Amino acid sequence: MNGEADDLANQSPPYEDVDLFGSDRPLQDAVAGNAGGVDTEALAAFGRRWGSAGMFELGRQANAHPPRLEALDAKGLRRDTVEFHPAYHDLMAESVAEGLAASTWTADAVPAPAPAPAQVLRAARFCMAAQVETGHLCPLTMTRASVAALAAEPALAATIMPKIVTRSYDRRFLPWWEKTGVTLGMGMTERQGGTDVRTNTTTAVPAGEGYRINGHKWFMSAPMCDFFLVLAQAKGGLTCFLMPRFRPDGSVNALHFQRLKDKLGNRSNASSEVAFADAFAWRVGAEGRGIRTIIQMVQLTRLDCAIASAGLMRMALAQALHHARHRIVFQRRLVDQPMMASVLADMAIEAEAAIALVMRLARSFDLAAGDPREAMRARLLTPAVKFFVCKRAPALVYEAMECLGGNGYVEDSLLPRLYREAPVNAIWEGSGNVMALDVLRALAQDSAKAVLDALAEDAAGLPGVREAHALIGSALAAGEAQARLAVERLALLAAAAALRQSAAAPVAELFARTRLGGPRGVMLGTSDLAPAETRALLERALPS
Residue in 87, 156, 138, 111 with CA at minimum distance from that of residue 261: 138
Please give the pLDDT value at position 110: 79
pLDDT in tens, 114-166: 999 999 999 999 999 999 999 999 999 999 999 999 999 999 999 999 999 99
For the segment 69-80, the average pLDDT, to the nearest whole number, is 88
pLDDT band at 6 (very low <50, low <70, confident <90, very high): low
d(CA 493, CA 209): 50
d(CA 541, CA 539): 5
Please give the pLDDT value at position 1: 42
**Higher confidence at residue 193 or residue 486?**
486
**Hey, what's the torsion of the CAs at 458, 459, 460, 461, to 10 degrees?**
140
pLDDT for residue 2 is more than 60? no
d(CA 127, CA 21): 10
pLDDT for residue 417 is more than 50? yes
Average pLDDT, the chain: 95
Q: Which fold would CATH assign to domain 292-541?
A: Butyryl-CoA Dehydrogenase, subunit A; domain 3 (1.20.140)
Domain spans, the chain = 65-97+133-288, 292-541
pLDDT in tens, 285-323: 999 999 999 988 999 999 999 999 999 999 999 999 999
Under 8 Å between Cβ of 40 and 46: no
pLDDT for residue 335 is more than 50? yes
pLDDT for residue 355 is more than 80? yes
- For the chain, what percent of residues have pLDDT higher than 90? 90
C-alpha distances (whole Å) from 348 to each of 32, 48, 309, 340, 399 are 19, 22, 14, 12, 12
Under 8 Å between Cβ of 254 and 276: yes
Instruction: Give the count of alpha carbons within 13 A of 395, CB side only.
Output: 14
For residue 429, how far is the Cα from the chain centroid? 10
pLDDT in tens, 215-247: 999 999 899 999 999 999 999 999 999 999 999
Global confidence as pTM: 0.96
d(CA 383, CA 487): 9
Please give the pLDDT value at position 531: 95
Residue in 190, 171, 188, 507 with CA at minimum distance from that of residue 357: 507
What is the bridge-based pairing of β-strands 237-244 and 227-234? antiparallel
Least confident of 178-192, 342-356, 364-378, 509-523: 509-523
- For the chain, what percent of residues have pLDDT higher than 70? 99
Count Cβ atoms below 10 Å from residue 230 Cβ, excluding itself.
29
d(CA 339, CA 446): 46
DSSP bridge partners of 83: 68
For the segment 277-283, the average pLDDT, to the nearest whole number, is 98
Please give the pLDDT value at position 4: 52
Please give the pLDDT value at position 526: 92
Residue in 460, 471, 441 with CA at minimum distance from that of residue 512: 460
For the segment 354-369, the average pLDDT, to the nearest whole number, is 98
Q: Is 128 helix (H, G, I), strand (E, B) or coil?
A: helix
Write out the DSSP string of 227-294: EEEEEEEETTEEEEEEEESB-TTSSBP-EEEEEE---SS-TTS-EEEEEEEEEEEEEES-TT-HHHHH
d(CA 335, CA 105): 44
pLDDT for residue 209 is more than 50? yes
Phi, psi values for residue 169, rounded to 5°: -100, 125
d(CA 387, CA 305): 10
Alpha helices (H) along 327-410: 338-367, 372-403, 406-409
- The one-letter amino acid code at 227 reads F
Asked if domains 65-97+133-288 and 292-541 share a fold, the reply is: no
pLDDT band at 76 (very low <50, low <70, confident <90, very high): confident
The answer for residues whose C-beta is within 8 angstroms of residue 412's C-beta and 6 or more apart is none
Count Cβ atoms below 10 Å from residue 226 Cβ, excluding itself.
25
Please give the pLDDT value at position 346: 97
pLDDT band at 32 (very low <50, low <70, confident <90, very high): very high
Tell me which H or E stretch contains 44.
helix 40-50
DSSP classification of residue 39: G
Q: Which fold would CATH assign to domain 65-97+133-288?
A: Butyryl-CoA Dehydrogenase, subunit A; domain 2 (2.40.110)
Tell me which H or E stretch contains 472.
helix 465-477
pLDDT for residue 56 is more than 70? yes
pLDDT for residue 519 is more than 80? no
First to last CA, the chain: 30
Please give the pLDDT value at position 518: 76
Q: Is 363 helix (H, G, I), strand (E, B) or coil?
A: helix
pLDDT in tens, 444-493: 999 999 999 999 999 999 999 999 999 999 998 888 999 999 999 999 99
117: preceding bond cis by omega (within 30 degrees): yes
d(CA 304, CA 145): 9
pLDDT for residue 347 is more than 80? yes
For the segment 325-349, the average pLDDT, to the nearest whole number, is 96
Angle at CA of residue 363, ends 362 and 367, nearest 5°: 120
